[in-house]
Structure 1
Amino acid sequence: MKITLFLALTCILAGVFCDDDDPFSSKFDNLDVDSILKNDRLLLNYHKCLMSGTGCTPEGENLRKAVPKALEDGCERCTDKQREVAAKVIKFLIEKKPELWKELLEKFDPEKKFRSKYEDRLKEISA
Protein backbone atom coordinates (compact mmCIF):
# COMPACT_ATOMS: atom_id res chain seq x y z
CA MET A 1 0.00 0.00 0.00
CA LYS A 2 1.35 3.41 -0.90
CA ILE A 3 2.04 5.81 1.94
CA THR A 4 0.16 9.09 1.86
CA LEU A 5 1.87 12.22 0.71
CA PHE A 6 2.91 14.37 3.58
CA LEU A 7 2.24 11.72 6.16
CA ALA A 8 5.07 13.17 8.13
CA LEU A 9 3.64 16.67 7.92
CA THR A 10 0.48 15.53 9.55
CA CYS A 11 2.11 13.29 12.11
CA ILE A 12 2.23 16.12 14.60
CA LEU A 13 -1.53 16.44 14.38
CA ALA A 14 -1.90 12.72 14.64
CA GLY A 15 0.17 12.66 17.78
CA VAL A 16 3.31 11.24 16.29
CA PHE A 17 5.70 13.61 17.96
CA CYS A 18 9.16 12.71 16.85
CA ASP A 19 12.09 12.23 19.13
CA ASP A 20 15.76 11.97 18.30
CA ASP A 21 15.95 8.21 18.89
CA ASP A 22 12.85 7.19 16.94
CA PRO A 23 11.30 9.83 14.70
CA PHE A 24 8.15 7.76 14.34
CA SER A 25 7.60 6.66 17.91
CA SER A 26 4.10 5.51 18.78
CA LYS A 27 4.20 7.05 22.24
CA PHE A 28 1.74 9.81 21.29
CA ASP A 29 -0.60 7.77 19.08
CA ASN A 30 -3.53 8.41 21.42
CA LEU A 31 -3.52 12.18 21.09
CA ASP A 32 -6.99 13.57 20.37
CA VAL A 33 -6.36 14.83 16.84
CA ASP A 34 -10.01 15.88 16.47
CA SER A 35 -9.56 18.51 19.18
CA ILE A 36 -6.62 19.98 17.26
CA LEU A 37 -8.48 20.00 13.96
CA LYS A 38 -11.44 21.75 15.59
CA ASN A 39 -9.27 24.43 17.20
CA ASP A 40 -8.00 26.96 14.67
CA ARG A 41 -5.51 28.42 17.14
CA LEU A 42 -3.82 25.06 17.74
CA LEU A 43 -3.95 24.08 14.09
CA LEU A 44 -2.42 27.38 13.01
CA ASN A 45 0.33 27.08 15.63
CA TYR A 46 1.35 23.69 14.24
CA HIS A 47 1.16 25.02 10.71
CA LYS A 48 3.35 28.01 11.61
CA CYS A 49 5.92 25.69 13.18
CA LEU A 50 6.09 23.53 10.08
CA MET A 51 6.24 26.47 7.71
CA SER A 52 8.74 28.74 9.46
CA GLY A 53 10.17 26.91 12.44
CA THR A 54 8.87 29.59 14.78
CA GLY A 55 6.77 28.93 17.82
CA CYS A 56 7.59 25.21 17.76
CA THR A 57 7.35 22.96 20.74
CA PRO A 58 10.36 20.66 21.10
CA GLU A 59 8.26 17.88 19.56
CA GLY A 60 7.22 20.11 16.68
CA GLU A 61 10.80 21.06 15.96
CA ASN A 62 11.85 17.42 15.84
CA LEU A 63 9.01 16.67 13.46
CA ARG A 64 9.97 19.59 11.25
CA LYS A 65 13.46 18.12 10.95
CA ALA A 66 12.08 14.63 10.23
CA VAL A 67 9.74 15.63 7.39
CA PRO A 68 12.22 15.47 4.50
CA LYS A 69 13.48 12.03 5.54
CA ALA A 70 9.95 10.69 5.93
CA LEU A 71 8.97 11.93 2.49
CA GLU A 72 12.03 10.35 0.91
CA ASP A 73 11.56 6.91 2.46
CA GLY A 74 7.76 6.80 2.26
CA CYS A 75 7.47 6.89 6.03
CA GLU A 76 8.46 3.25 6.23
CA ARG A 77 8.63 3.27 10.03
CA CYS A 78 5.19 4.78 10.61
CA THR A 79 2.63 2.70 12.48
CA ASP A 80 -0.75 1.75 11.01
CA LYS A 81 -2.38 4.17 13.47
CA GLN A 82 -0.16 6.99 12.24
CA ARG A 83 -1.09 6.27 8.64
CA GLU A 84 -4.80 6.16 9.50
CA VAL A 85 -4.77 9.44 11.39
CA ALA A 86 -2.57 11.11 8.78
CA ALA A 87 -5.12 10.27 6.10
CA LYS A 88 -7.81 11.86 8.28
CA VAL A 89 -5.73 15.02 8.72
CA ILE A 90 -4.89 15.26 5.01
CA LYS A 91 -8.55 14.89 4.10
CA PHE A 92 -9.45 17.60 6.60
CA LEU A 93 -6.83 20.00 5.23
CA ILE A 94 -7.82 19.38 1.61
CA GLU A 95 -11.53 19.86 2.33
CA LYS A 96 -11.59 22.46 5.12
CA LYS A 97 -8.26 24.31 4.97
CA PRO A 98 -7.07 24.17 1.35
CA GLU A 99 -4.96 27.30 1.78
CA LEU A 100 -2.95 25.62 4.55
CA TRP A 101 -2.62 22.44 2.49
CA LYS A 102 -1.35 24.40 -0.51
CA GLU A 103 1.25 26.19 1.61
CA LEU A 104 2.51 22.88 3.01
CA LEU A 105 2.75 21.41 -0.48
CA GLU A 106 4.74 24.37 -1.72
CA LYS A 107 7.04 24.34 1.30
CA PHE A 108 7.85 20.63 1.37
CA ASP A 109 7.39 19.69 -2.28
CA PRO A 110 8.32 22.69 -4.43
CA GLU A 111 9.51 20.45 -7.26
CA LYS A 112 6.31 18.37 -7.11
CA LYS A 113 8.19 15.09 -7.01
CA PHE A 114 6.31 13.72 -3.99
CA ARG A 115 2.91 14.79 -5.32
CA SER A 116 3.40 12.63 -8.38
CA LYS A 117 4.84 9.79 -6.29
CA TYR A 118 1.77 9.69 -4.04
CA GLU A 119 -0.84 10.95 -6.51
CA ASP A 120 -3.02 7.83 -6.43
CA ARG A 121 -3.14 7.79 -2.64
CA LEU A 122 -4.05 11.49 -2.52
CA LYS A 123 -6.93 10.91 -4.91
CA GLU A 124 -8.16 8.06 -2.73
CA ILE A 125 -8.05 10.20 0.41
CA SER A 126 -9.76 13.24 -1.08
CA ALA A 127 -12.53 11.21 -2.75
Structure 2
Amino acid sequence: MKVIVVFALISLAAANVEYYTTADDNLNMEEVVAEIERLQRYVDCFLDRAPCSERTASYKKIIPESLMTKCEKCNDAQKHLAHGFLRGLKAALPEEYISFRLKYDPEDKYFDDFEKAVDGCHQPKTQRMDNAPLGAYRDDSRISKMKWIIVLSALTVLARAKDLYSTENDDLDIDGLVKDVGSLKAFLGCFNDIGTCNAEAADFKKDMAEAVAQACEKCTEAQKHIFKVFLEAIKEKDPEGYKIFQQKYDPQNKYIAALQTAIASY
Protein backbone atom coordinates (compact mmCIF):
# COMPACT_ATOMS: atom_id res chain seq x y z
CA MET A 1 0.00 0.00 0.00
CA LYS A 2 2.86 2.37 0.87
CA VAL A 3 4.49 1.69 -2.47
CA ILE A 4 1.27 2.54 -4.26
CA VAL A 5 0.98 5.80 -2.33
CA VAL A 6 4.58 6.75 -3.16
CA PHE A 7 4.09 6.07 -6.86
CA ALA A 8 0.84 8.01 -6.78
CA LEU A 9 2.59 11.01 -5.22
CA ILE A 10 5.41 10.84 -7.78
CA SER A 11 2.89 10.66 -10.60
CA LEU A 12 0.97 13.61 -9.17
CA ALA A 13 4.18 15.67 -8.88
CA ALA A 14 5.13 14.85 -12.46
CA ALA A 15 1.66 15.78 -13.65
CA ASN A 16 1.98 19.17 -11.93
CA VAL A 17 5.23 20.15 -13.67
CA GLU A 18 4.77 23.52 -15.30
CA TYR A 19 6.34 23.22 -18.75
CA TYR A 20 7.52 26.15 -20.83
CA THR A 21 5.18 27.57 -23.45
CA THR A 22 6.67 28.48 -26.82
CA ALA A 23 5.16 29.71 -30.05
CA ASP A 24 5.93 26.45 -31.84
CA ASP A 25 7.08 23.24 -30.15
CA ASN A 26 6.68 21.37 -33.43
CA LEU A 27 9.18 23.35 -35.49
CA ASN A 28 11.16 21.16 -37.88
CA MET A 29 14.61 22.01 -36.52
CA GLU A 30 16.25 19.70 -39.07
CA GLU A 31 15.05 22.02 -41.83
CA VAL A 32 16.31 25.09 -39.95
CA VAL A 33 19.86 23.82 -39.42
CA ALA A 34 19.99 22.56 -43.01
CA GLU A 35 19.60 26.16 -44.26
CA ILE A 36 22.56 28.20 -43.06
CA GLU A 37 20.91 31.58 -43.64
CA ARG A 38 17.85 30.54 -41.69
CA LEU A 39 19.98 29.12 -38.89
CA GLN A 40 21.97 32.36 -38.78
CA ARG A 41 18.75 34.35 -38.27
CA TYR A 42 18.02 32.28 -35.18
CA VAL A 43 21.54 32.83 -33.89
CA ASP A 44 21.37 36.58 -34.51
CA CYS A 45 18.17 36.76 -32.47
CA PHE A 46 19.60 34.72 -29.59
CA LEU A 47 22.83 36.79 -29.52
CA ASP A 48 20.99 40.16 -29.56
CA ARG A 49 22.25 41.09 -33.01
CA ALA A 50 18.92 41.34 -34.77
CA PRO A 51 15.20 41.53 -34.01
CA CYS A 52 13.42 38.29 -33.16
CA SER A 53 10.29 36.87 -34.69
CA GLU A 54 7.48 35.83 -32.37
CA ARG A 55 8.68 32.23 -32.61
CA THR A 56 12.38 32.87 -31.98
CA ALA A 57 11.56 35.32 -29.18
CA SER A 58 9.54 32.62 -27.44
CA TYR A 59 12.54 30.29 -27.57
CA LYS A 60 15.00 32.99 -26.51
CA LYS A 61 13.14 33.94 -23.33
CA ILE A 62 13.49 30.43 -21.86
CA ILE A 63 17.16 29.89 -22.73
CA PRO A 64 18.77 31.28 -19.52
CA GLU A 65 16.59 29.38 -17.07
CA SER A 66 16.43 26.16 -19.07
CA LEU A 67 20.22 26.17 -19.35
CA MET A 68 20.73 26.54 -15.59
CA THR A 69 18.10 23.89 -14.74
CA LYS A 70 19.10 21.29 -17.36
CA CYS A 71 15.85 21.91 -19.23
CA GLU A 72 13.83 20.79 -16.23
CA LYS A 73 10.66 22.52 -17.45
CA CYS A 74 11.14 21.50 -21.10
CA ASN A 75 8.76 19.01 -22.65
CA ASP A 76 10.19 16.33 -24.94
CA ALA A 77 9.53 18.38 -28.07
CA GLN A 78 11.43 21.36 -26.63
CA LYS A 79 14.35 19.14 -25.64
CA HIS A 80 14.42 17.79 -29.18
CA LEU A 81 14.49 21.33 -30.57
CA ALA A 82 17.32 22.34 -28.24
CA HIS A 83 19.34 19.25 -29.12
CA GLY A 84 18.80 19.71 -32.86
CA PHE A 85 19.70 23.40 -32.73
CA LEU A 86 22.91 22.96 -30.76
CA ARG A 87 24.09 19.94 -32.73
CA GLY A 88 23.41 21.67 -36.02
CA LEU A 89 24.97 24.93 -34.85
CA LYS A 90 28.13 23.19 -33.65
CA ALA A 91 28.53 21.42 -36.99
CA ALA A 92 27.54 24.20 -39.37
CA LEU A 93 28.64 27.37 -37.52
CA PRO A 94 31.15 26.34 -34.84
CA GLU A 95 32.26 29.92 -34.09
CA GLU A 96 28.66 30.92 -33.46
CA TYR A 97 28.25 27.89 -31.22
CA ILE A 98 31.13 29.20 -29.10
CA SER A 99 29.60 32.69 -29.05
CA PHE A 100 26.29 31.19 -27.92
CA ARG A 101 28.01 29.32 -25.07
CA LEU A 102 29.92 32.40 -23.96
CA LYS A 103 26.78 34.55 -23.90
CA TYR A 104 24.57 32.20 -21.92
CA ASP A 105 27.20 30.40 -19.81
CA PRO A 106 30.27 32.67 -19.53
CA GLU A 107 31.64 30.72 -16.56
CA ASP A 108 31.11 27.35 -18.30
CA LYS A 109 29.07 25.98 -15.38
CA TYR A 110 25.89 24.67 -17.01
CA PHE A 111 26.29 23.98 -20.71
CA ASP A 112 27.72 20.45 -20.66
CA ASP A 113 25.04 19.22 -18.27
CA PHE A 114 22.36 20.92 -20.38
CA GLU A 115 23.56 19.19 -23.54
CA LYS A 116 23.54 15.83 -21.77
CA ALA A 117 20.00 16.48 -20.53
CA VAL A 118 18.61 17.09 -24.02
CA ASP A 119 20.82 14.57 -25.82
CA GLY A 120 18.35 11.70 -25.55
CA CYS A 121 15.53 13.62 -27.21
CA HIS A 122 16.73 13.63 -30.83
CA GLN A 123 15.17 11.83 -33.74
CA PRO A 124 16.83 8.64 -35.05
CA LYS A 125 19.28 9.23 -37.87
CA THR A 126 16.99 7.25 -40.21
CA GLN A 127 14.62 10.21 -40.05
CA ARG A 128 17.21 12.66 -41.33
CA MET A 129 15.75 14.71 -44.16
CA ASP A 130 17.14 13.87 -47.59
CA ASN A 131 17.94 17.49 -48.41
CA ALA A 132 19.88 18.09 -45.20
CA PRO A 133 23.68 18.17 -45.53
CA LEU A 134 25.28 15.05 -44.09
CA GLY A 135 27.74 17.14 -42.09
CA ALA A 136 24.91 18.73 -40.16
CA TYR A 137 24.22 15.50 -38.26
CA ARG A 138 27.67 14.13 -37.75
CA ASP A 139 28.04 12.85 -34.22
CA ASP A 140 29.27 15.42 -31.72
CA SER A 141 32.10 13.13 -30.69
CA ARG A 142 34.05 14.11 -33.81
CA ILE A 143 34.97 17.31 -31.96
CA SER A 144 36.66 16.35 -28.74
CA LYS A 145 35.63 18.05 -25.54
CA MET A 146 39.25 19.00 -24.88
CA LYS A 147 39.41 21.01 -28.11
CA TRP A 148 36.30 22.95 -27.14
CA ILE A 149 37.72 23.64 -23.69
CA ILE A 150 40.91 25.00 -25.27
CA VAL A 151 38.97 27.20 -27.68
CA LEU A 152 36.63 28.48 -24.98
CA SER A 153 39.56 29.19 -22.67
CA ALA A 154 41.32 31.14 -25.40
CA LEU A 155 38.22 33.20 -26.09
CA THR A 156 37.73 33.84 -22.40
CA VAL A 157 41.30 35.13 -22.18
CA LEU A 158 40.67 37.38 -25.17
CA ALA A 159 37.46 38.67 -23.63
CA ARG A 160 39.31 39.31 -20.38
CA ALA A 161 42.03 41.23 -22.25
CA LYS A 162 39.41 43.45 -23.86
CA ASP A 163 38.06 44.33 -20.40
CA LEU A 164 41.35 45.65 -19.02
CA TYR A 165 41.76 49.36 -18.40
CA SER A 166 43.56 51.48 -20.97
CA THR A 167 47.34 51.02 -20.89
CA GLU A 168 47.98 54.56 -22.13
CA ASN A 169 49.75 55.64 -18.92
CA ASP A 170 51.16 52.31 -17.76
CA ASP A 171 54.64 53.75 -18.23
CA LEU A 172 54.11 56.36 -15.50
CA ASP A 173 57.26 56.70 -13.37
CA ILE A 174 55.43 56.14 -10.11
CA ASP A 175 58.62 55.65 -8.10
CA GLY A 176 59.86 59.04 -9.25
CA LEU A 177 56.46 60.66 -8.65
CA VAL A 178 56.14 59.55 -5.02
CA LYS A 179 59.62 60.92 -4.23
CA ASP A 180 58.31 64.39 -5.13
CA VAL A 181 55.81 65.18 -2.37
CA GLY A 182 54.34 68.05 -4.39
CA SER A 183 53.60 65.82 -7.39
CA LEU A 184 52.26 63.08 -5.12
CA LYS A 185 49.84 65.48 -3.40
CA ALA A 186 48.78 66.90 -6.76
CA PHE A 187 47.74 63.42 -7.92
CA LEU A 188 45.98 62.77 -4.62
CA GLY A 189 44.23 66.14 -4.78
CA CYS A 190 42.88 65.23 -8.22
CA PHE A 191 41.59 61.88 -6.95
CA ASN A 192 40.02 63.51 -3.88
CA ASP A 193 38.32 66.30 -5.87
CA ILE A 194 40.25 69.02 -4.09
CA GLY A 195 42.61 69.94 -6.90
CA THR A 196 42.95 70.06 -10.65
CA CYS A 197 43.83 66.99 -12.69
CA ASN A 198 46.49 66.72 -15.36
CA ALA A 199 45.94 64.26 -18.22
CA GLU A 200 47.67 61.36 -16.47
CA ALA A 201 45.86 61.80 -13.16
CA ALA A 202 42.51 62.21 -14.94
CA ASP A 203 43.11 58.96 -16.84
CA PHE A 204 43.64 57.01 -13.62
CA LYS A 205 40.84 58.81 -11.79
CA LYS A 206 38.14 57.82 -14.26
CA ASP A 207 38.54 54.15 -13.29
CA MET A 208 39.44 54.68 -9.64
CA ALA A 209 36.07 53.91 -8.04
CA GLU A 210 35.62 50.69 -9.97
CA ALA A 211 39.23 49.61 -9.43
CA VAL A 212 38.87 50.02 -5.66
CA ALA A 213 35.50 48.23 -5.54
CA GLN A 214 36.70 45.34 -7.72
CA ALA A 215 40.14 44.90 -6.15
CA CYS A 216 41.84 46.10 -9.33
CA GLU A 217 40.33 43.19 -11.28
CA LYS A 218 40.72 45.00 -14.62
CA CYS A 219 44.13 46.47 -13.85
CA THR A 220 47.20 45.49 -15.82
CA GLU A 221 50.26 44.38 -13.88
CA ALA A 222 51.81 47.81 -14.39
CA GLN A 223 48.68 49.49 -13.00
CA LYS A 224 48.70 47.23 -9.95
CA HIS A 225 52.29 48.25 -9.28
CA ILE A 226 51.40 51.92 -9.69
CA PHE A 227 48.43 51.56 -7.34
CA LYS A 228 50.46 49.73 -4.70
CA VAL A 229 53.30 52.27 -4.66
CA PHE A 230 50.85 55.19 -4.68
CA LEU A 231 48.79 53.92 -1.74
CA GLU A 232 51.85 53.08 0.34
CA ALA A 233 53.27 56.55 -0.33
CA ILE A 234 50.18 58.57 0.54
CA LYS A 235 49.60 56.51 3.66
CA GLU A 236 53.11 57.38 4.80
CA LYS A 237 53.52 60.94 3.49
CA ASP A 238 49.97 62.30 3.64
CA PRO A 239 47.90 60.28 6.14
CA GLU A 240 45.12 62.87 6.19
CA GLY A 241 44.89 62.77 2.41
CA TYR A 242 44.81 58.97 2.60
CA LYS A 243 41.85 59.12 4.99
CA ILE A 244 40.01 61.42 2.57
CA PHE A 245 40.80 59.04 -0.30
CA GLN A 246 39.49 56.07 1.68
CA GLN A 247 36.36 57.95 2.73
CA LYS A 248 35.66 58.93 -0.87
CA TYR A 249 36.24 55.58 -2.53
CA ASP A 250 35.44 53.18 0.32
CA PRO A 251 33.25 54.96 2.90
CA GLN A 252 32.04 51.69 4.44
CA ASN A 253 35.53 50.17 4.56
CA LYS A 254 34.44 47.20 2.43
CA TYR A 255 37.04 47.19 -0.35
CA ILE A 256 40.44 48.60 0.67
CA ALA A 257 41.66 45.44 2.42
CA ALA A 258 40.85 43.27 -0.58
CA LEU A 259 42.45 45.79 -2.92
CA GLN A 260 45.68 45.89 -0.90
CA THR A 261 45.82 42.09 -0.87
CA ALA A 262 45.30 41.94 -4.64
CA ILE A 263 48.15 44.36 -5.40
CA ALA A 264 50.53 43.39 -2.59
CA SER A 265 52.92 41.38 -4.76
CA TYR A 266 53.31 44.00 -7.54
Give the TM-score range, shorter chain.
0.5 to 0.7
Deviation of 1:53 after TM superposition, in Å, equals: 5.4
Aligned ranges for residues 1-127 of structure 1 at < 5 Å? 24-25=20-21, 28-52=24-48, 54-115=50-111, 118=113, 121=116, 126-127=140-141
CA distance in 2, matches of 1:37, 1:120: 17
SS at match of 1:52: coil
Equivalent position amino acid for 1:50 in 2 = F
Q: Conserved in 1, the CA contact under 8 Å of 2:89 and 2:96?
A: yes
- Structure 1: state its 5+ residue gaps: 1-21
* RMSD of aligned alpha carbons: 2.8
Q: TM-score, normalised by structure 1?
A: 0.65
Say which one has the larger Rg.
2
Alpha carbons of structure 1 residues 85 and 119: separation in structure 2 relative to 1, 3 Å = closer
Q: Shift of residue 31 of structure 1?
A: 1.8
Structure 1 residue 54: deviation in Å?
A: 2.4
Deviations 1:35-57 (A, max 9, x none): 21121221111100100152211
Q: Secondary structure at the match of 1:110?
A: coil
Aligned to 1:11: none
How far off is 1:120 after superposition? 7.9
TM-score, normalised to structure 2, is 0.34
Residues 94-118 of structure 1, C-alpha deviations (whole Å, 9 max, x = no match):
22221111110111111111135x1
CA distance in 2, matches of 1:56, 1:49: 5
Aligned to 2:182: none
Q: How many percent of aligned residue pairs carry the same amino acid? A: 23
